[in-house]
Amino acid sequence: MIESNAEYETGWFVGGYDLIEQPDGSRKRYYWAELPTAVVVTAITDDQVLFVEQYRPTIRHEQLELPAGVVEAGESFTAAAERELEEETGFRADSLSLLEEVWVATGLLRHKRAYVFAEGLEPTEQDLDANEFLTPRAVPTEEAMSTVRSRPTNDATLQGLSLADAEGLL
């Protein structure tokens, strides 16, 4: 890398480019966006997967998604998952385990995401942020994948369910 420049910074993401010397000696700018590390939670209770329904302004659709959020500084993936699950759904888990940690869309993003499995859920209270308008919804485990695939969904939800299924947890 010859140089790295952040051209746009907000409290939510940074955008910029790296000037790279390629193997043939030519130079090229590779643009990127950096997002905070996030966690996605696949939570099971009474043979049901717990989702949240919310409107996503970026795509102008309501989606059924797994609970998710930003990992705060110094927070472990499982602690972030526990916090986000309770805030978004009003359930606390007594058992959480890390399924996978991945880099997301590496051709454009600098963004890490972790997938956590949660079980042993006990009801508490939702504690939504001012900009969150989420409705918890439980779907029978055997219908979870077909339910999310039959409507607009996102990669994090499909990956979270797929990872849990691959581990024999669904």
- Do 77 and 39 form a contact (C-beta atoms < 8 A)? yes
> Looking at residue 92, what is its pLDDT?
96
Does the pLDDT of residue 100 top 90, yes or no?
yes
| pLDDT tens-digit map of 112-162 | 999 999 999 999 988 888 888 899 999 999 999 999 998 888 999 999 999
Among candidates 98, 106, 105, which has minimal Cα distance to 156? 105
Domains, in order of start, for the chain: 3-34 (no CATH), 38-102+112-167 (3.90.79.10)
> In the chain, pLDDT over 70 holds for what percent of residues?
100
> Looking at residue 11, what is its pLDDT?
86
